[in-house]
């Protein structure tokens, strides 16, 4: 019998939770459109409202501040715009500040022009340079419009937790706006929009055990909102037109509730990750675990093995039955250096392997992974020795 594969790529997509699947099936059995006023429509609308409540509880916000989208990419494109409204009054944002290690969808800057975007550096662990943020804000002319900072809660490659609260205080002192990408955080650390000090938050369902193709933009209030990206029927209070993805939203809500309940398991997840890293260090003393001493998500490890390209290692793991990433899932299929490693000043030439765990993983699965790691590393060591002797 073939050995079961090990799925260690939760930061790319977490497997669909049974509770999310059940909620989706229930929603798919309903014929009504959530915008219809008849009984079937009201039943569909009730599912959307229930899911909105569940997502709101995850972030400690009123349900009215949750707008559903087709995913994090759409939410980012929606909120990263120069055009906002405060009630009926237009509000102009003339400068977007982005951290150098942001996910590609945020790094692209949404609807801002290239000359309206400034990239801020990071330290060797990939944490935002707060002094650079302060300097950029001081240099900005408020007469030209407001300034916005886009910052991850936690990096998708390294797992490093950003100093969001400190950045929020600096931005607030300069009357700017803060958008946080919280895609990797639910279920792995506590989340509260108000405690982070953010104006907007981006979420994606499939990172926390919900379905692919649904996400949310969370706002700190209902007065200041970005100009709609998709207009038409006026769904989501006019913020995002288009018939709601009823099944996806239902699954998102169920996954959000599960993520809130899984926070008590974070310490156990960190123990598994630390056990894995200790085993890798024992087998390969020259391993480089990026940001290994920084505050990270409990489930994430990002490492390089000298002399072994990340793409080659990824294929080797896959052939041994282990699914891992060579960086971000959105770019790991492409040839190119990690912009995260480059921003950190690390050697980006070989790339790095990302391991991202879930709450379902066990000690036995970590042991199985380490067996595979030792075999791959042994082949690396043998090859490097032969090359040195040649």
Question: Which residues are marked as active site?
Answer: 330
- E-strand ranges in 100-142 read 117-120
Write out the two tokens for 314: 């990824």
Residues 6+ apart with CB under 8 A from 43: 30, 32
Report yes or no: 59 and 229 within 8 Å, Cβ to Cβ. Answer: no
Report yes or no: 181 and 160 within 8 Å, Cβ to Cβ. Answer: no
- CA 166 to chain CA mean position, Å: 20
Rounded Cα–Cα distance for residues 123 and 141 (Å): 26
Give which of 340, 27, 59 is closest to 195, Cα–Cα: 59
Using the structure block, give the residue that is written with the tokens 């799925």.
7
Return the SS3 of 66: strand
Give the DSSP per-residue string, 365-386: HHHHHHHHHHHHHHHHHHHHHH
To 5 degrees, how large is the angle CA 180–CA 182–CA 187? 155
Return the SS3 of 24: helix
The pairs formed by 231-236 with CB atoms below 8 angstroms and a separation of 24 or more are 233/35, 235/34, 235/35, 236/67, 236/68
Give which of 123, 84, 133, 78 is closest to 101, Cα–Cα: 123
């Amino acid at each position: 019998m073939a050995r079961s594969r090990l799925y260690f790529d939760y930061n790319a997509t977490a497997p669909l939770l049974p509770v999310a699947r059940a909620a989706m099936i229930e929603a798919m059995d309903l014929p009504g459109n959530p915008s219809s006023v008849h009984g079937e429509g009201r039943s569909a609308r009730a599912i959307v409202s229930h899911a909105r409540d569940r997502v709101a509880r995850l972030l400690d916000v009123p349900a009215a501040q949750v707008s559903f989208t087709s995913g994090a990419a759409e939410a980012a494109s929606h909120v990263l715009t120069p055009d906002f409204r405060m009630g009926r009054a237009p509000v102009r944002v003339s400068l977007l500040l982005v951290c150098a290690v942001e996910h590609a969808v945020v790094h692209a800057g949404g609807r801002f022009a290239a000359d309206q975007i400034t990239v801020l550096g990071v330290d060797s662990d990939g944490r935002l340079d707060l002094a650079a943020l302060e300097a950029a804000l001081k240099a900005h002319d408020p007469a030209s419009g407001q300034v916005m900072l886009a910052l991850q809660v936690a990096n998708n490659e390294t797992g490093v937790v950003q100093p969001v609260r400190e950045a929020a205080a600096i931005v607030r002192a300069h009357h700017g706006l803060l958008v946080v990408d919280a895609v990797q955080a639910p279920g792995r650390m506590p989340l509260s929009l108000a405690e982070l000090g953010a104006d907007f938050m981006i979420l994606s369902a499939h990172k926390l055990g919900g379905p692919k193709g649904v996400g949310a933009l969370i706002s700190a209030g209902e007065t200041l909102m970005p100009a709609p990206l998709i207009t038409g029927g006026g769904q989501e209070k006019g913020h995002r037109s288009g018939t709601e993805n009823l099944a996806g939203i239902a699954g998102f809500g169920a996954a959000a509730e599960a993520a809130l309940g899984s926070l008590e398991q974070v310490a156990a997840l960190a123990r598994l990750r630390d056990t894995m890293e200790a085993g890798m260090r024992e087998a390969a003393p020259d391993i480089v675990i990026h940001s290994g001493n920084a505050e990270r998500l409990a489930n994430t490890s990002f490492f390089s093995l000298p002399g072994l390209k990340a793409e080659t290692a990824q294929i080797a793991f896959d052939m041994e039955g282990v699914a891992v990433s060579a960086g971000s899932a959105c770019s790991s299929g492409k040839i190119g250096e990690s912009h995260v490693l480059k921003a950190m000043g690390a050697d980006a030439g070989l790339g790095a392997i990302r391991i991202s765990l879930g709450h379902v993983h066990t000690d036995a699965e970590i042991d199985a992974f380490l067996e595979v790691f030792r075999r791959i590393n042994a082949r690396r060591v043998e090859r490097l020795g032969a090359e040195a002797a040649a």
